[in-house]
Chains A and B, each alone.
Chain A
């Protein structure tokens, strides 16, 4: 079985981002970048499926600037076998990413594509579902457990009411939620080994796909600021304030 994982390079989740002076985007110069946390979970799941003997080859794909090679290297150090970078300097919307991933799928013929449920920069939560639609494959989104048996996968999903288990035919697209696994840190020897693993770099123009933006960003602004309130001395004072000042309890 062959598995493809999609890994996106994003502003690290610990960075407190700032809107740029022009109000057109978030400042990304000189900020720490990392693999999208949900994609680390996707890679980890792929590596575990390899370790359990269910997966023969794990391929990490990223769409982005040449720096996204670092993100692919991280996936390789965690245990992926090789990487593919679709190189572009422009940000690509989820629909465009899904179309590009579809082309990669037609070349690579994976049995499963694992993506993160959400990129923590655009907070879109779309790419996996879109890819599944374009491929006409079933989807198992927000996975907190994956069980693969022959030509089917049972996916337990984190949903608003609790957990839901579905069964989907393979090939399929699966998106990861937080509780699927705890991603490993790559060991130094594995980081060294990853340097020798191949990354295939494809210029985006070579794929000839319509990735024209469908959404125009008019402006990006700071959210309304919330002011800190007061520190109360004790529970009695807190309740007094909630009752008589804020009037939110009786």
Chain B
């Protein structure tokens, strides 16, 4: 099998989430990694040392700077013929680009796989994770996105593999990046944090999220939210955990003032330990919680924070 993993990178580092895609790739065969971007040779050098990677392709040009799908899909599909599998992590970047690549190649894309059974058979959640589908690809080239929480990021090093330059494709020129609004935070990334504390509609306001941030900081964790909390404007969209937000599987997930709708559970039920704090003992979140605390969050959360001080 010849596997191409398209890795996301930032400031010369391969993103942790993409290390999961490399790891999925090594289950299938020899992995090549494509690093596309502008001034991104340092990331290619990092990739060349990863365990299981036999070749790095570097496409370094201004057209790849902002991950515009039109340009990236053109590049990826132009080199796809050499591969049996094309893989990206199911981030918003991967989800944006890979279906476009698949359509250009006239093959299916298989989204968000959680398990690789053999070269052509994969398991993926459907219906918000209420069912797991085992599917077999009938296409020559398999285009996959992988769920990062289901594959341990690749670790360790190999002998340095070669870096091969790929000549850049033309600028398709139909799309342009304008700007980005990014919330700066010192906390770990939601999708790779070991501890996540999330708030829901029960939090009542954005200001009240400060209580959760305090606990996150004491535990070295990240803060997440339910859709209702994002829709109500308490926190920005990138906090949303769930079927249509981010999928997390930390060692510890604390759900505060979250009812536990199926769409929310879809994004966190693979966490190792789940804690729920909710004043309604009937809340469905308690059906998946290892430890439930039936309490008013406005008493329980400050007291939790105070106890952590000791």
Report A's interface with B, CB cutoff 8 A: 11, 13, 16-17, 19, 26, 38, 93-95, 98, 117-118, 120-134, 137-142, 144, 154, 157-169, 172, 177-179, 213-223, 226, 228-232, 234-236, 238-239, 241-242, 246, 248-249
Q: How far is the CA of A178 from the CA of B101 in the complex (A)?
A: 25
Q: A120-B127, A125-B111, A235-B303 are in contact. Are A228 and B291 (CB under 8 A)?
A: no
Q: How far is the CA of A189 from the CA of B295 in the complex (A)?
A: 46
Q: How far is the CB of B72 from chain A (nearest CB, A)?
A: 11
Contacting residues, chain A, for B133 (C-beta < 8 A): 217, 219-220
Report B's interface with A, CB cutoff 8 A: 68-70, 73, 91-93, 95-104, 106-112, 121, 125-139, 172, 174-183, 191, 195, 219, 227, 230-231, 236-238, 243-244, 246, 251-252, 262-263, 269, 272-275, 281, 286-295, 300, 303-304, 307-308
Q: A159-B238, A162-B237, A234-B293 are in contact. Are A223 and B132 (CB under 8 A)?
A: yes
Q: How far is the CA of A128 from the CA of B181 in the complex (A)?
A: 24
| B288/A228 in contact, CB under 8 A | yes
Contacting residues, chain B, for A221 (C-beta < 8 A): 131-132, 134
| B99/A94 in contact, CB under 8 A | yes
Q: How far is the CA of A246 from the CA of B191 in the complex (A)?
A: 21
Partner of A162, one of B93, B127, B172, B183: B183
Q: A95-B103, A129-B69, A133-B104 are in contact. Are A123 and B111 (CB under 8 A)?
A: yes
Partner of B127, one of A95, A123, A238: A123
Q: How far is the CB of A44 from chain B (nearest CB, A)?
A: 15
Contacting residues, chain A, for B73 (C-beta < 8 A): 133
The residue in chain B whose Cβ has the minimal distance to the Cβ of A214 is B108
Q: How far is the CA of A215 from the CA of B111 in the complex (A)?
A: 12
Q: How far is the CA of A25 from the CA of B26 in the complex (A)?
A: 30
15 interchain pairs, CB-CB under 8 A: A122-B126, A129-B96, A129-B103, A130-B102, A142-B96, A167-B178, A178-B244, A223-B130, A223-B131, A229-B290, A231-B281, A234-B295, A241-B291, A246-B272, A248-B272
Contacting residues, chain A, for B104 (C-beta < 8 A): 133
Q: How far is the CA of A220 from the CA of B124 in the complex (A)?
A: 10
